[in-house]
Chains A and B, each alone.
Chain A
Amino acid sequence: MSFNSLQFILFLPVVWILYWYVFNKKLRLQNWFLGAASVFFYACWDWRFALLLLLTTVSSYGTGLLIERTHVRWRRSALSAANIVLNLAILGFFKYYNFFAEAFAEMLRAIGLLPDIATLQLLLPVGISFYTFQALSYSIDVYRGKVPATRRFDAFLAYVTFFPQLVAGPIERATHLLPQMLRTRVFTYETASDGCRQMLWGFVKKIVVADNCAVAVDMIWGDYTSMSGLQLLVGVLLFTIQIYADFSGYSDIAIGCARLFGIELVANFRYPYFSRNPSEFWRRWHVSLMKWFRQYIYIPLGGNRGGLNATMRNIMIVFTLSGLWHGAQWTYVWWGIYHGVVMCVALLLGWNKHYSRVIASRGWVVRPREFAGMLLTFVLVAMGWILFRSGSLAEADNYVQHLLGHIGETEITVGYRALFYSAALLVIDWTCRRREHVLQLNFGGVFRYRWCRWVMYYGLVALIIHELHQSQQAFIYFQF
């Protein structure tokens, strides 16, 4: 059941009413209900997927309890390792079996052998990478003593399966979400209405911007050999906006939806395209995943404590793994490697200043140096998306070759509408870059009048309905 489906429009109010009006008497009951509703939400794709989800939940829950019961260090390590292996084995089997089988066969062929390695027709469970990482974070945190193991399965089930963030994040850590499942949730008008506004903006990003971009991008990528250089450049730009609007739109819907249930999720996007260097970009793009990698891979590897070479090695490992996390395809791996290299070069050049605030946080004037940094970061990120979008390395190579070979051709036939929406999104994002989300209103100016706010909301709803015919596009990140 996708957020942009009819089922969800019916599912959400029913679950919300039952959650606050029927199951609100006891926290346990409310958690069980939330868990059951979330499993149902997930089973709507395929009921067999729900079994996998439950297996992951039960194994991490059990591991947590077992780890806490034993005080022998090697036993704790073994239990934690066993849970990691089990979860990664499930993930690896469903997501990477064919990839590695084909890569292995290719390797054997290269040395003159004729291997007979079967690939399997496996269905990839939706969002498996997201909930596997979330469940893993719990057992690792219990092992490290950062969070006590919970005995409350109702709360743990609700934590792993919580439907707004189940299939595409944000990837929550037990230290943040689990305590919320263990205490009584309180409904507040302000939080819920802000959640609705955030959802509304998420739908605008997804249906109006991302889906329009998707149509143009598909046309451009599907026929790039007959397009002009400028058109291909527009294709890259539109995909850059598409993936941002699609994924951050999903995150906005998820976070807003969670607020309706009195639950706060971590922010996943913080206006990443206004980053002044690659390092800042990765602190603003898919924040929850990058935090996960930082906590569970980068820091255990030594982080930046072992000198420049060790730091660069760790960066390369993290980004390669992050590429592989996105999918079983070489283009994703190379996309990860590309960003690893960009990060290393930036590190060598000293272009990695840590900014705690968004660009021009106090005013409208941007310093030329920061503006140049922002522009260069945007270009570097956009170039990376060519790898991400292409079906193969050869396609990415051909696309770039064709773009460079026809750079003088300036005919644009596809994507005007998408360009308009993309530009509008960037302008609005820029204007609202100090807010958590665009529709986080401070009720000042004209928006202190309810009718003004409602006119804006109705305008956005009308825009969504107007663009709805293309909304049957799935969210890009569901495949991960």
Chain B
Amino acid sequence: MKKFVKHILWFVLPVVILLVAGELYMRSIPNIYRYKDQWMRSRASDVEVLVLGNSHSFDGISPSRLSCKAFNLAMPNQTFEEDYFMLTNYGPGCDSLKTVIVQLDECNLVLPSLEEMGYNDRATYYRIYMGYDKHSRWSLYNFEMSNPATCWRKAKRYWQAKRDGGNDLGCDSLGFSPQGELQRGGNEDAEFLTKMWQKVSVVKENVRKLTKISDYCRDHGLHMLLITMPYKRSYVANLDRNMVKMVRMVGEQEGKKPHVTYINFQGDDRIADSDFIDNSHLTTSGAMKFSAIIDSVLVAD
């Protein structure tokens, strides 16, 4: 038996050492999840406006352009579920919080949870760096190394950023992610969203989650600014008409509540097609323009 135990230990030890070392290294790489968590824990008390949503808001609303103190808590692929978690996790620490900007568009209305979309790595980051306890402490969502392929990509991106002397974090000090001015094309997302739109149960579930966010704002005396982010006109034309109508309907329904203001920016003339890097993400200058529009709305409110 000694021989067996010895062999097992010799075999397992290098694997364990590699995994632990890899995990420690991955956690030492700066990332937006930890940054935002630390920022909110240390400096949230004087925040007046919180921005929630997915990459469209993450790349589209710059708190530095708002005249009140704001922070962008949006993340790529973030769903209403994580929005609600952010609000309940960090909201109580925001003593000066007045307004929560919530994004409502075709993406976060028709797409299912991060795990169902296969974004296990992102679900892992929420668990590790923000303490979202959706998954048990025994699950693999507690380890970055449970997504080795993503770890490799993340490490490569980090090394490249270090070598080029660029921003290795992925966002500015207020949580906004400037995307530059380089334009890309493509309309695959329209087809993808149209396919996802068929799943009525997912839409229903997302509306329920949005209502939870709205209820939280009402219960805590917060104003909810519900916005539909601008898209490229050609892209909107590609989207399923019923899906677009559904977004508008859900937004208008929520907008009837006294603490909610709903604004749909799709087709807004102030944002031109040249302000987008692709179909739905704004360039840095487009984001600045859009942030100024949002600021005017906040000031008017």
Contact = CB atoms under 8 A, between A and B. Distances in A.
B140 A6 contact: yes
B256 to A, nearest CB: 34
B149 A469 contact: yes
Nearest to B145: A465
Given A5-B138, A461-B15, A466-B148, A472 B120 contact: yes
A437 B76 CA distance: 44
Contacts of B150: 469
A20 B148 contact: no
A135 B19 CA distance: 41
Contacts of A470: 120
Interface in B1-51: 1, 3-4, 7-8, 11, 14-15, 19
A468 B4 contact: no
Contacts of B11: 454, 457
A223 B148 CA distance: 28
B167 interface: no
Nearest to A457: B11
Contacts of A6: 138-140, 142
Contacts of A472: 120, 139-140
B139 A192 contact: no
Given A5-B138, A454-B11, A472-B139, A215 B4 contact: no
Chain A facing B: main interface SS: helix
A354 to B, nearest CB: 40
A192 B4 contact: yes
A74 interface: no
Interface in B139-173: 139-140, 142, 145-150
A187 interface: yes
B186 interface: no
Interface in A153-193: 187, 189, 192-193
A163 to B, nearest CB: 17
Contact of A468 (B3, B138, B140): B140
B139 A193 contact: no
Contacts of B15: 458, 461, 465
A204 interface: no
Interface string B86-120: 00000000000000000000000000000000101
Contacts of A469: 120-121, 140, 146-150
B20 to A, nearest CB: 13
A465 B120 contact: no
Chain B facing A: main interface SS: helix
A20 B195 contact: no
Contacts of A193: 4, 7
Contacts of A223: 195
Nearest to B2: A189
B140 A465 contact: no
A7 interface: yes
A398 interface: no
Contacts of A479: none
A196 interface: yes
Contacts of A192: 4
Contact of B8 (A7, A196, A458): A196
Interface of B: 1, 3-4, 7-8, 11, 14-15, 19, 118, 120-121, 138-140, 142, 145-150, 195
26 contacts: A5-B138, A5-B139, A6-B142, A7-B138, A187-B1, A189-B1, A189-B4, A192-B4, A193-B7, A196-B8, A458-B14, A458-B15, A461-B15, A465-B148, A468-B140, A468-B146, A468-B147, A469-B120, A469-B121, A469-B140, A469-B146, A469-B149, A470-B120, A471-B140, A472-B120, A472-B140
Given A187-B1, A469-B149, 13 more contacts: A6-B142, A189-B4, A192-B4, A226-B195, A458-B14, A465-B15, A466-B148, A466-B149, A468-B148, A469-B120, A469-B148, A472-B139, A472-B140
4 smallest CB-CB distances across A and B, nearest first, come from: A469-B147, A6-B138, A7-B138, A469-B120
